[in-house]
Amino acid sequence: MAELDTSSGGGHKKGPGVKKAKKLSTRIDLTPMVDLGFLLITFFMFTTTLAKPKTMEINMPYKDPNMLDEEKNKLKSSVALTVLLSKDHRIYYYEGIGDDAKNTPNVKVTGFKQKNGIRDEIITKKKMVDDLKRSGALTAKDQMTVLIKPDSTSTYSDLVNMLDEMNINDVKVYAIIDISDVDREFIRATEQANGIK
Amino acid sequence: MGHAKIPRKSTNIDMTAMCDVAFLLLTFFMLATKFKPEEPVIVRTPSSISSVPLPDNDVMMLTVDTKGRIFFAIDNKLKRKALIEDINAERSLNLSATEMNAFAIGASVGIPLNQLKSYLGSSPEQQKSIDQGTQGIPTDTTVTSPNNELASWIKSARNTNPKLRICIKADGDASYPSVSKIVKTLEGWKIFKFNLITNLKSIPEGTAAFAEANAAKKE
């Protein structure tokens, strides 16, 4: 404590050896700090993922192996459009549910196209169901139903595209169903008729 | 010669304002950033018009690549830890504490359960090379099948976190049967609601959805 006393004695004159303290500027060079700031900004800008991935919600029909056949809803074939997804993004479709063995449906081929693709077909079918409702052949409760049956050669993008068509065309009722042997036969016959191998 | 004397100005400019802006932006990006979770494989998802964003938390991600290999991931380190303990006990894998920790801090797994122990024991670099050649998580069309390991993963994950949203992120070129197996497995556990991850595309003009979107905009 005693040492302190010597430097700041009584506040009188400084000795000849004591230098006058220079007034330092309070300004500091900010350039390196700005450099660093921008470097970090660049880093975060490149690593950030601002756009979050989008998802499509899907609800599968409730399935229970113990469910009795009588409890299942019967689908009127006049409201149904069956869509078979096959290889090379080809789509086979027919009206109805294809359960009538005597009366085989007229299976047609199309694809995901802007013109005359599956979309136009869905829109036509929708109009048809609406007309039938107006004429009284169908009740107001009946809704157009699309049965999507992807076969083993189709890809996941076909399925998503098809589900997307349902959203695009505002089809309320649709279901993804396992393909049956009957449908496989339809595809085979249509392929033969159209010369597709 | 009457030269006008140009006053010499100092080249020093005040950096304070620039510094302020720089750090403001820095703070924004630091807060807004969320690091991309490490992807085991490159997946190009198909596009749809659906614009529902992926939830932030409680996501179970099932990734399917072009070859149909399945990778499984959930978020949240604590839940991952609980999950691996659960599956370790159920399938008696004899995992050590360090191996379980490796799972908790890791990303996704796509390996059969019998190889899981050696996979978790190896370094992250080795794990990456294993991911290249792995067959993915084995699955089947029924949940009761003993080969359906995906079913065990899903069951344990839902035990540890019942709020999990299930998201399928599949490559557009993945074959339908490989995705179908996952859907069948989910149906076997009575899960009928799940999300498919897609890219956003614009709604085509002149369609029902287009009219609806326009009507919503006008309101």
> Range with the lowest mean pLDDT among A22-26, A173-177, B42-46, B171-175?
A22-26
Does the structure show a pLDDT above 60 at B47?
A: yes
Closest CB to B33: pick one of A48, A58, A114.
A48
Chain centroid to CA B113: 21
* Average pLDDT value for residue range B165-193: 87
What is the predicted pLDDT for the residue at B204?
82
Q: How far apart are CA A108 and CA B22, in angstroms?
A: 62
- Whether chain B has a CB inside 8 Å of the CB on A130: the answer is no
In chain A, whose CA is at the least distance from the CA of B36?
A: A49
The DSSP 8-state label assigned to residue A103 in this structure reads S
Interface test with A, best of B21, B189, B198 (most A CBs within 10 A): B198
**Nearest one of A93, A110, A74 to A196, comparing CA atoms:** A110
Kindly state the average pLDDT of the residues B189-211.
83
Given CATH 3.30.460, say whether it is the number of domain A76-194: no
Structure tokens at B118: 């050696």
Q: How far apart are CA A140 and CA B153, in angstroms?
A: 44
- pLDDT per residue rounded down to tens, chain A (197 residues): 444 444 444 445 555 666 667 777 777 788 888 888 889 888 888 877 666 778 888 887 776 666 555 555 667 777 888 888 888 888 888 887 776 666 677 778 888 877 778 888 888 888 888 888 888 777 777 788 888 888 888 888 888 888 888 888 888 888 888 888 888 888 888 888 776 65
Q: What does the alpha-carbon distance between residue A153 and residue A155 come to, in Å, rounded to a whole number?
A: 7
Tens of pLDDT along B76-117?
Answer: 888 888 888 888 888 888 888 888 888 888 778 888 888 888
pLDDT at site B205 = 80
Of A31, A47, A170, the CB nearest to B209: A170
Complex ipTM value: 0.78
Which among B108, B135, B132, B138 has a CA at the least distance from the CA of B120?
A: B108
CB contact (8 A) between residue B172 and residue A157: yes
What integer pLDDT is reported at residue B43 of this predicted model? 84
What percentage of chain B exceeds 70 in pLDDT? 96
| Residues of B (51-80) whose Cβ lies below 8 Å from A | 51-54, 64
* B29 with A50: Cβ contact below 8 A: no
- The answer to whether A135 touches A78, Cβ cutoff 8 Å, is no
Q: What is the pTM of this model?
A: 0.76
Question: Which of the listed ranges A40-44, B36-40, B207-211 does the model predict with the highest average pLDDT?
Answer: A40-44
Give A11's DSSP letter: S
Provide the pLDDT for residue A71: 55
pLDDT (0 to 100) of residue A8: 45
Q: What is the pLDDT of residues B129-162, one digit of tens each?
A: 888 888 888 888 777 777 888 888 888 888 888 8
- Domain coordinates of chain A in residue numbers? 76-194
What DSSP line would sit under B137-190, residue for residue? S---SSTTSTT-HHHHHHHHHHHH-TTPEEEEEE-TTSBHHHHHHHHHHHHHTT
The pLDDT score that the predictor gives to residue A116 is 78
Q: Does the CB of A66 have a partner CB in chain B at under 8 Å?
A: no
pLDDT at A91: 86
